Structure 1
Amino acid sequence: MQSCFSNLQSLLVPAALWWSSTMSTKAVKILFLLLLLLPMVSQAAAVSDTVTCRKIKGECAFLLCPLFKRATGTCYNGLAKCCRPLW
């Protein structure tokens, strides 16, 4: 496992040096901020359908819905099913 990380690090360091030598520091800062904001934006989108499922008294299931429940939508940005009781 350690060798996998060292191989990845040996690939990333030259790439980072290349980026810093070809781009201005302002452009690198902007790119860095965009990369920091990307997970927040994607996470906000993932919460919306999960919250909707919870509001209609559903629960999220990654595989099949439990017994006596039916799939009525999605959760976690389409990765899971929103399951509601049959009655």
Structure 2
Amino acid sequence: MKISCFLLLIVSLSSFQVNQATDHDTAKCVQRKNGCYYFECPWLSTSVGTCYKGKGKCCQKRY
């Protein structure tokens, strides 16, 4: 039972990740090897654009 729940969780999360990258701005951010975040960019990162149809930030590492 635990294994089937774990596998269902993995499949759900993997399909969720595929659907996020279908937006144009999100795909552009991921292609440039940046990260998409809904809230503030992490420490030592700079906001360089948007993700998730303008609802998130595309963050690039400063170093």
Q: Report TM bin, short chain.
A: 0.5 to 0.7
For residues 49 and 56 of structure 1, what CA distance do their matches in structure 2 show?
A: 11
Corresponding residue for residue 24 of structure 1:
none
Q: Pairwise mapping of residues 16-27 of structure 1 onto structure 2 (< 5 A)?
A: none
Moved over 2 A (4+): none
- Name the TM-score, length of structure 2 as normaliser: 0.63
What is the Cα deviation at residue 59 of structure 1? 0.7
Q: Please list every run of 5 or more consecutive structure 1 residues that lacks an aligned counterpart in the other structure.
A: 1-42
Percent identity of paired positions between Structure 1 and Structure 2: 35
Q: Please list every run of 5 or more consecutive structure 2 residues that lacks an aligned counterpart in the other structure.
A: 1-18
Larger radius of gyration: 1
Aligned residues: 43
RMSD: 1.6
For residues 52 and 39 of structure 2, what CA distance do their matches in structure 1 show?
A: 13
1:51 is the counterpart of 2:27: yes
- Name the TM-score, length of structure 1 as normaliser: 0.46
Structure (1/2) with the larger helix percentage? 1
What is the Cα deviation at residue 51 of structure 1? 0.3
Amino acid at match of 2:30: R
For residues 55 and 84 of structure 1, what CA distance do their matches in structure 2 show?
A: 12
What is the Cα deviation at residue 71 of structure 1? 0.3
